[in-house]
Structure 1
Amino acid sequence: MGDILVGTCSWTDRELVGSGWYPRGRRDAEGRLRHYAERFPVVEVDASYYALPGERNSRLWAERTPDGFVFDVKAFSLLTGHPTRGAVMPDGLPADSRDPAVLDEVWARFRAGIAPLREAGRLGSVLFQFPPWLRPGPRAEEFLAQCAERTRGWPVAVEFRHPAWWLDERAEHTRALLAGYGMAAVAVDMNRSLPSSIPPVTPVTSPRLSVVRFHGRSTAWGTGSKEDRFRHAYDDAELVEWVPRLWSLAERVEEVHVLFNNCCGDAAVRGAEAMQRLLGQSPALAEGVTPSVNKRLDG
C-alpha cells in the first residue's frame, strides 16, 4: 500500500496569505513555509509556471522543510506551450518556443533551478499541465515525446486540459502513451457539466506516482477571473466520494499526491485538512515533524 500525501497547489497564494490562516509570527517567507510543512507533507510550486525557478529559492525550500516533505514543481509556461511574457524570460531572451536556442536555454535554466530539490530528495514530481488547445494527435504526441526526452530521469506528472485525451475511445491510447514514457497521469476533480470538463478518470501510468488535483467545481471554469474560476469550498460529501478512489490508487502506486487547487481564500487548505481527516490522517503540530501519512486500518 502506497502513501497518500495531501497538500495544496501553493503556500504563497495572495488570497491564502490574506485569509489569516498563517498565524502572527509566521507570515514571513520562512515562517509561512515552516507553518505549512508542519501540517502537510507535499506542496505544489505554482510560481514556477509564471517565472523560472531559482537555485537559491529551491535550496532554501529544502532547508526549511522536514525530512520526507516533497515539492511538486509546475513546469514553466514556455515548456508546456503556453503564452509567456517576455518580462519573465531570462537575460532578455524572446518568448519564442519555436527557436531551438531559446528552448535549450530555458530548459537548462529550469533544470538548474530545480536541481537543489532533486539533490535533496525533495522533488516529488514536475507537473506538465498542457493547455486546452493541445488536442490528441500526431503533433501533440511529438511534443510529448520531446518533453519526455528533455526530462529523462525526472519524476514527471502530466495533466491534459483537453477532455478528448480521456474520452472512452481515446483513454487507453493515452494511458499507454504516458506509461511508455514513465509519466504519471494526473486525475482531476472539477465541475463535470461543462464542454471543457475533464472526465474524473484515475488512470495509473507509473508504478511510482499518481496525482489527483482538486480544481473546485465552479461553473466559471475557463472564464472570468481567477477568483471566479476557483471559488469553491469542498464539503465532506464531495470529498468522501474520492476516498475509495484514492485508496485504490494507493494499492497500485508507491505514492499518491492529492493537491487542492481551489485557491480562493483559505478554501484549498481547508479542503486539504478535510481530506486528511476523511483518510484518517492527522497533521503533526510540532516544529520539524512531518505530518503522519496513515495507512487504511484494514490495509
Structure 2
Amino acid sequence: MGDILVGTCSWTDPTLVRSGWYPTGRRDAEGRLRHYGERFPVVEVDSSYYALPSERNSRLWAERTPNGFVFDVKAFSLLTGHPTRSAVMPDGLPADARDPGVLDEVWARFTAALAPLRQAGRLGSVLLQYPPWFRPGPRAEAVLAETARRCQGWPLAVEFRHPSWWQRGRTEATCTLLARYGMAAVGVDMPQGLAASVPPVAPVTTPRLSVVRFHGRSPAWQGGNKEERYRHAYDGHELAEWVPRLHELAERVEQVHVLFNNCCGDAAVRAAEKMTRLLGTSPAREAGPPAMTWTRFAPAPRPGADTHRR
C-alpha cells in the first residue's frame, strides 16, 4: 500500500495570502512555507511555469520544510511548448522553442535550479503540463521521447490538456506511451460536458507515482477569466467520489499525489484539509528535528470499478 500525499498547487497565491489562512507572524516567505509544511506533505510549485526557478530558492525550500516533504515542480512554459514572454527569458535569449540552442540552455538552467531539491530528496516530480493543442501523433511522441532523454532518472508526471489522449479507444495507447518513458500519468478532476473536458481517468503508468490534480468544477471554465475558472469550493460529496479511487491507486503505486488547483482564496487548502479527513487520517502538525513522519493511509474496500473510468 503506497502513501497518499495531499496538498495544493501553490502556497504563495496572492488570494490565499489575503484570505487569512496564514496566521499573524507567519506571512513572510519563510513563515508561509513553514506553516504550510506543518499541515501538508506535498505542494506544487507553479511559479516555475512562469519564470525559471533558482538554485537559491530551491535550497531555501528544502531548508524550510520538514523531512519527508516533497515539491512537485511545474516545468517552465517554454519546455512544454506554451507561449513564453521574452521578459522572463534568461540573458535575453529569444522565447523560441524551435531553436535547439535556446532549448539546451533553458533545460540546463532548469536542471541546475532543481539540483538542491533533488540532492535533498525533496523533488516529488516534475510536472509536464502540455497545452490543449498538444495532440496524439508522431510529433507529440517525439517531444515526449526527447523530454525523457533530457530528464533521465527524474520523477516525471505528464498532464495532457487535450481530451483525445484519454478518450475511449485511445487510453491504452496513451498509457503504453507514458509507461515506455517511466512517466506518471496525471488524472484530473474538472468540469465535464465541455469540448475541452478531459475525462476523469486515473491511469497508472509507472509503479512509483500517480498524480491527480483537482481543477475545480466551475461552470465558468469555458469562457471565464482565470479566477472565475478556478473559483470552486469542493463539497464533501464531490471529494468522496474520489476516495475509493485514490485508495485503489495507492494499492498500485508507491506514492499518490493529490493536488488541489482551485486556487482562489483559501478554497484549495480547505479542500485539501477535507480530503485528508475523508481519506482517514491527518498528517502530523509540528515540523521539527529530526524529521516529520507522514502516516500511511489504510486501504479502503475496492469498489469494483475500472480505475480508468469514473
Q: Do 1:69 and 1:122's aligned partners in 2 also have CA atoms closer than 8 Å? A: yes
> Which position in structure 1 is the counterpart of 2:86?
86
Corresponding letter in the other structure for 1:110: F
Once the two structures are TM-superposed, the CA of residue 222 in structure 1 deviates from its matched residue by: 4.6
> Which position in structure 1 is the counterpart of 2:106?
106
Corresponding letter in the other structure for 1:296: A
> What per-residue deviation string (whole Å, max 9, x for no partner) do you get for residues 148-198 of structure 1?
111111000000000000001111000000000000000000001211100
- Where do 1:144-223 residues align within 5 Å? 144-223=144-223
Hey, what's the Cα distance between the residues in 2 that align with 1:32 and 1:203?
Answer: 33
Once the two structures are TM-superposed, the CA of residue 298 in structure 1 deviates from its matched residue by: 6.2
Q: Relative to 1, partners in 2 of residues 1:12 and 1:266: Cα closer, same or farther, differing over 3 Å?
A: same
Calculate the aligned-residue CA RMSD, in Å: 1.2
Corresponding letter in the other structure for 1:213: R
Q: Residue 286 in 1 paired to residue 306 in 2?
A: no
TM-score, length basis structure 1: 0.98
Hey, what's the Cα distance between the residues in 2 that align with 1:192 and 1:253?
Answer: 27
Q: Relative to 1, partners in 2 of residues 1:25 and 1:291: Cα closer, same or farther, differing over 3 Å?
A: farther
> Which position in structure 2 is the counterpart of 1:239?
239
**Structure 2 regions of 5+ residues with no counterpart?**
302-310
Q: Residue 95 in 1 paired to residue 95 in 2?
A: yes
Corresponding letter in the other structure for 1:201: V
Counterpart secondary structure, 2:249: helix
Once the two structures are TM-superposed, the CA of residue 114 in structure 1 deviates from its matched residue by: 0.5
Q: Relative to 1, partners in 2 of residues 1:292 and 1:102: Cα closer, same or farther, differing over 3 Å?
A: same
Q: Do 1:208 and 1:254's aligned partners in 2 also have CA atoms closer than 8 Å? A: yes
Q: Stretches of 4+ moved more than 4 A in 1?
A: none
**Structure 1 regions of 5+ residues with no counterpart?**
none
Hey, what's the Cα distance between the residues in 1 that align with 2:165 and 2:128?
Answer: 15
Counterpart secondary structure, 2:7: strand
Q: Residue 45 in 1 paired to residue 68 in 2?
A: no
Q: Relative to 1, partners in 2 of residues 1:232 and 1:298: Cα closer, same or farther, differing over 3 Å?
A: closer
Hey, what's the Cα distance between the residues in 1 that align with 2:221 and 2:55?
Answer: 33
Corresponding letter in the other structure for 2:144: L
Corresponding letter in the other structure for 1:100: P
Q: Residue 69 in 1 paired to residue 76 in 2?
A: no
Counterpart secondary structure, 1:129: strand
Once the two structures are TM-superposed, the CA of residue 140 in structure 1 deviates from its matched residue by: 1.1
Hey, what's the Cα distance between the residues in 2 that align with 1:291 and 1:268?
Answer: 23
Q: Do 2:175 and 2:204's aligned partners in 1 also have CA atoms closer than 8 Å? A: yes
> What per-residue deviation string (whole Å, max 9, x for no partner) do you get for residues 177-233 of structure 1?
000000000000000121110001111001000000000001222532211110000
> What per-residue deviation string (whole Å, max 9, x for no partner) do you get for residues 264-283 of structure 1?
00000000000000011213
Hey, what's the Cα distance between the residues in 2 that align with 1:291 and 1:30?
Answer: 21
Corresponding letter in the other structure for 1:217: R
Q: Relative to 1, partners in 2 of residues 1:109 and 1:145: Cα closer, same or farther, differing over 3 Å?
A: same
Q: Do 1:282 and 1:291's aligned partners in 2 also have CA atoms closer than 8 Å? A: no
Corresponding letter in the other structure for 1:242: W
How many residues are treated as equivalent by the alignment? 299
Q: Residue 296 in 1 paired to residue 293 in 2?
A: no
Q: Among all aligned residue pairs of Structure 1 and Structure 2, give the percentage whose two residues are the same amino acid.
A: 75
TM-score, length basis structure 2: 0.94
Counterpart secondary structure, 2:60: helix
Q: Do 1:40 and 1:291's aligned partners in 2 also have CA atoms closer than 8 Å? A: no
Q: Do 2:68 and 2:293's aligned partners in 1 also have CA atoms closer than 8 Å? A: no
> Which position in structure 2 is the counterpart of 1:141?
141
